Amino acid sequence: MADTPEEIKKAQKKYLLIGLILFVFTVVTVAVATVPWLDFGEHGFDAQDATIGLIIATIKAGLVGAIFMHLSHEKKTIYVLIVIGILMGISLMGLTGWAFEDPIEYGNSVEGDGFLNPEVKAEQH
């Protein structure tokens, strides 16, 4: 970690460079979304545009984390904390996945009380 005044003095150039790169990436993101000849995939917004946008955002976030937040050279304790945090964050995103396998099948019976599987319902009668 840059701790002595000399090292910090040297590191400042790096910070400035990263700032510039972040500016450039921002311009690229906007350009990809607005300039017609930079439009990937189909005309207009689509999955490819989303992927590109998110990849650029992730690179930018990585740079901020690694350089500005000194994560490129941190102590082990902090890595452990971050990994736990990110894993929890991702699992929260994963919660959306539950919606794809909804155990309650609603709306499949005419009567409207169809959270019971029709077959199960038939057995009950």
15 interacts with other proteins by CB under 8 A: yes
102 interacts with other proteins by CB under 8 A: no
- The minimum distance between CB 123 and other proteins, in angstroms, equals 29
Q: Tell me how far apart the alpha carbons of residues 123 and 79 are, in angstroms, rounded to a whole number.
A: 55
Q: Tell me how far apart the alpha carbons of residues 25 and 32 are, in angstroms, rounded to a whole number.
A: 10
85 interacts with other proteins by CB under 8 A: yes
49 interacts with other proteins by CB under 8 A: yes
38 interacts with other proteins by CB under 8 A: no
- The minimum distance between CB 13 and other proteins, in angstroms, equals 11
Q: How many helices (H) and strands (E) does the chain have?
A: 4, 0
Total binding residues toward other proteins, as defined by CB under 8 A? 51
